[in-house]
A = this chain, B = another copy of it.
Amino acid sequence: MAGTDASLKAEKTIARAPVIILVGPQLGENIGMCARAMLNCAVTELRIVNPRDGWPNPAAVASASGATEVLDKAKLYTSTKEAVADLEFVLATTARERGMVKDIYSTEAAAKEIRLRNAGQDQKCGILFGPERAGLENDDVALANAILNIPLNPGFSSLNLAQAVLLVCFSWLSADNPFQPGDVVTEMGDTAPAQKQEIEMLLTHIEDELVNGNFFRSPEQKPTILRNIRNFFFRAAPTQQDVRTLHGIVSCLTGKRTWK
């Protein structure tokens, strides 16, 4: 609940985002959706290895929904080996076991590892994604330091390519999100929280009217009921506007409305 300004400002510097490497993607539409998902998460460096339908691809532009800066800067390669040549740490995204000796990172662990290698050692990291249907080949996986597995419902784990890219990029962004001012902030509109004394004046108003209306059947029950009412209003954290409205409601209900 820190701060009243919920606008998300991008003032902090972003760590170097991982390079996204699409190996043998089939549909241009999917490449465009990957570019969109990347830019949603402030990830902008795309490499494409042997796209089935050639490059550039108008279908990619159409589905990128404006993420053209990612597509325009995308680099084309004829082998995965070339595409990872200048990287220091590479993860291969795959859901299948490969019978290979490899560490398997969860999406969250991968995000932390990349942040760490960025911050401490200025390493350039990349993440490999295979073709839509078959996924990465074992020779591609062997080029990676480790495997990245997106932990999903094992009974229904098939994602499309852009969704996999989105989850991986969002996990990276979430690991240290400069656009997130806090876990929970409060949007206040054009009013402000009421001061405790304003709430107390409202409670006095309510109490007076309840006394007038013979609400309390016995003097003994009065403190308990008032405590419960107080507890409700303090927990509800009314704004100054809410307090004004509640005064008006009480006045109205008792036939003492003071405005015309």
A residues contacting B by CB (< 8 A) are 1, 6-10, 37, 39-42, 65-67, 97-109, 112, 146-147, 149, 151-159, 162-163, 166-167, 170, 173-174, 177, 179-180, 182-191, 239, 242
Contact = CB atoms under 8 A, between A and B. Distances in A.
Given A103-B184, A106-B177, 12 more contacts: A6-B97, A40-B152, A40-B159, A66-B156, A103-B187, A106-B184, A107-B174, A108-B174, A109-B183, A153-B179, A154-B179, A166-B167
Contacts of A185: 103-104
Contacts of A104: 6, 184-187
A101 B156 contact: no
A156 B66 CA distance: 9
Given A167-B170, A179-B151, A187 B106 contact: no
B187 A41 contact: no
B187 A101 contact: yes
Nearest to A239: B101
Contacts of A183: 105-106, 108-109, 112
Greatest chain B CB density within 10 A among A108, A112, A183, A239 is at: A183
Across the A-B interface, the 6 shortest Cβ-Cβ residue pairs: A109-B183, A151-B180, A99-B189, A42-B153, A39-B156, A40-B152
29 contacts: A1-B103, A8-B149, A8-B151, A42-B152, A42-B153, A66-B158, A100-B189, A101-B187, A101-B242, A103-B185, A103-B186, A104-B187, A105-B183, A106-B182, A106-B183, A106-B184, A108-B174, A108-B183, A109-B183, A112-B183, A147-B187, A151-B177, A151-B179, A152-B179, A154-B179, A162-B163, A166-B166, A167-B167, A170-B170
Greatest chain B CB density within 10 A among A103, A152, A177, A190 is at: A152
B10 A100 contact: no
B97 A153 contact: no
A112 B174 CA distance: 14
B109 A40 contact: no
A156 B190 contact: no
A136 to B, nearest CB: 14
Contacts of A162: 163
